[in-house]
């Protein structure tokens, strides 16, 4: 589930960068890095809320 979640986050970030003006991602590597950060933040927030 972890790798598929990471892949979905990458695809979502790439789609948002294509769709939202002013939000740009410079390639696949920054999208992967952003996805990892997004996953870590989401995990921490879920951990603190529970």
Tens digits of pLDDT across the chain (50 residues): 578 888 888 999 999 999 999 999 988 999 999 999 988 898 899 999 98
E strand or H helix at 27, and its extent?
A: none
Phi, psi of 14 (to 5 degrees): -65, -40
Cβ atoms of residues 14 and 31 within 8 Å: yes
DSSP letter for 20, please.
S
Residue labelled with tokens 């603190």:
48
What pLDDT sits at residue 2?
73
The pTM assigned to this predicted structure is 0.77
What pLDDT sits at residue 6?
86
Counting every residue written for the chain, the total comes to 50
Distance from the Cα of residue 24 to its chain's centroid: 13
């Amino acid at each position: 589930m972890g790798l598929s979640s990471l892949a979905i986050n990458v695809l979502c970030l790439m789609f948002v960068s294509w769709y939202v003006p002013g939000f740009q991602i410079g390639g696949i590597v920054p999208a992967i890095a952003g996805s990892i950060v997004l996953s870590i933040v989401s995990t921490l927030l879920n951990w603190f809320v529970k």
